[in-house]
Structure 1
């Protein structure tokens, strides 16, 4: 019998999509200035003003694509805010599919 392999959704080449077990564990900030670590955002200006809706969405898009540890998601993403923003986030298809498969609530947001 041939071996079967599971397809792993990729956020980008060679980067598997990371999805936490629950949205409730995402307790990141929702207001103020947040500076992402260089590993998550390579721009010299790494501060995002979360009081500006476009900056908040932009930060979430980057964190969801680039996170390689669940603690990064917990530190920078807030579950209820993610649900609210979900329909407007510009994400790679694989990222969106992996998150919606684990958290069907997002599909209906």
Structure 2
């Protein structure tokens, strides 16, 4: 029996969570999101009543990147909330689902740990 189209499509994809593929932009230069100040994430990305994040607090900046990388379902969400050079700098310390990490590292070799200068 031949697999259905949806099954074939899902094979080999990296998942952010079961049943949902990780979303990756084709070029890190597309990522021009904020790098400081207080931002308010959309409810779709963060489901709390207070969705304000102070990006000047280093731990919160990394947390926001983890949240956006895991929860994004469209490239425009990544472009809006992430900043390419900041992503590269934070990448080694981010706690991400395995599928998200693999998807991004497969597409952007600069994110592979051996390619990032310590």
Question: TM range, normalised to the smaller chain?
Answer: over 0.9
Which segments of 5 or more consecutive residues in structure 2 lack a partner in the other structure? none
- Which TM-score applies when normalising by structure 2? 0.87
Distance (Å, rounded) in 2 between the aligned partners of 1:29 and 1:66: 17
The aligned counterpart of 2:56 is 51
- SS of the residue aligned with 1:24? helix
Q: Which has the higher helix share?
A: 2
Determine whether 1:20 maps to 2:25.
yes
Deviations 1:2-53 (A, max 9, x none): 7693321110122210000000000000000011000000111211100001
Q: RMSD across aligned C-alpha pairs, in angstroms?
A: 1.4
Distance (Å, rounded) in 2 between the aligned partners of 1:63 and 1:69: 10
Which range moved further: 94-103 or 9-18? 9-18
Q: Which stretches of structure 1, 4 residues or longer, exceed 6 Å deviation after superposition? A: none
Computing the radius of gyration from Cα coordinates, the structure with the larger value is: 2
Aligned residues: 108
- SS of the residue aligned with 2:39? strand
